[in-house]
Structure 1
């Protein structure tokens, strides 16, 4: 993965998929207060459809990557934040940190009609700045993440129609409680990664 020129995206440039409880933009970034019960999921295992995530999205063209940085500060089951990439109501990908069964985990949900879910514990990321990067190239969306300035970690390679109109940006959800406020410190657009592995 190479470092490319990065362009900051103004918070006002996006459109919310679902309006949050409150949004405050100041010198530190954007603070988003999620509505209780907000979530994104389709059918698998649980049997329900939730499409009330708070995602601030803008176009993600082919050959581009979006990066979102946020403070990982969660306390309740399924508190979550990261990047949301959306084609339509039944085709989307969310990736970020989620508190599950008392532990912060880096994960992704890939939805093509029905959702799947993968998690890897990252308990040492709590209280730190996390950046999630979604890189669109060809027929795939490649998700990487890192904490502070540590090396990028591969999270997921997911199928994504090369010709689809895709929107992406920061998101958060609070499926089980009121009062979750997430501080997002950056939203950036850059070139897609050149390859899946460092030597490419």
Structure 2
């Protein structure tokens, strides 16, 4: 996948209304779209929009996400998916009035780690998910900034998986996510 052909080798999970002006992928997130399984909230949601392509151990998927979230739980980033019970979403989300950089890892049940990045609001942020034989490394950086380690999680890299840009709007209609510069590359070779 590259910026000139977003759909080459990819397929939509819950296809939204979308367009590609000026090499950006622009997605209108449906109200109620989300990804979550059980923990704390007690519900299961598997309705987020994602443009996915195959990924294997030794590969990474990365994309720029515009930090334009403005209402509760607007979110966008990268989805790594095995199936509806095993997936990881990494990216930006507005929660309780703060822009957060977070990861949700799901293996039957979801967890959620997040850290505030309010100063990234209104900018482009690059999200990178690297798949290894036994783990996934998530990194992010503000436009032209240094990579930051976000999370390292156990993951069986031998499983068939897909990855790509995702977005969701659990609480409202009218939110549009913007992505640019998708890349499927070699995975990070080290943590530090």
The TM-score, its normalising length taken from structure 1, stands at 0.92
Q: Secondary structure of 2:7's match?
A: helix
1:52-131 map, 5 Å: 52-131=47-126
Alpha-carbon distance in 2 for matches of 1:69, 1:179: 21
CA positional deviation for 1:194: 0.8
The TM-score, its normalising length taken from structure 2, stands at 0.96
8 Å Cα contact 1:44/1:115 also seen in 2 = yes
Alpha-carbon distance in 2 for matches of 1:18, 1:185: 20
Q: State the partner residue of 2:171.
A: 176
Alpha-carbon distance in 1 for matches of 2:70, 2:21: 24
1:38-49 map, 5 Å: 38-49=33-44
Is 2:162 the counterpart of 1:167? Answer: yes
Q: How many residues align?
A: 190
CA positional deviation for 1:28: 4.0
Is 2:19 the counterpart of 1:8? Answer: no
Query: Which runs of no fewer than 5 residues in structure 1 stay unpaired?
Result: 1-6
Equivalent of residue 18 in structure 2, options 23, 28, 31 = 23
| Structure 1 residue runs of 4 or more that deviate by more than 6 Å after TM superposition | none
CA positional deviation for 1:16: 1.2
Alpha-carbon distance in 2 for matches of 1:109, 1:190: 22
Q: Secondary structure of 2:25's match?
A: strand
8 Å Cα contact 1:41/1:115 also seen in 2 = yes
1:185-196 map, 5 Å: 185-196=180-191
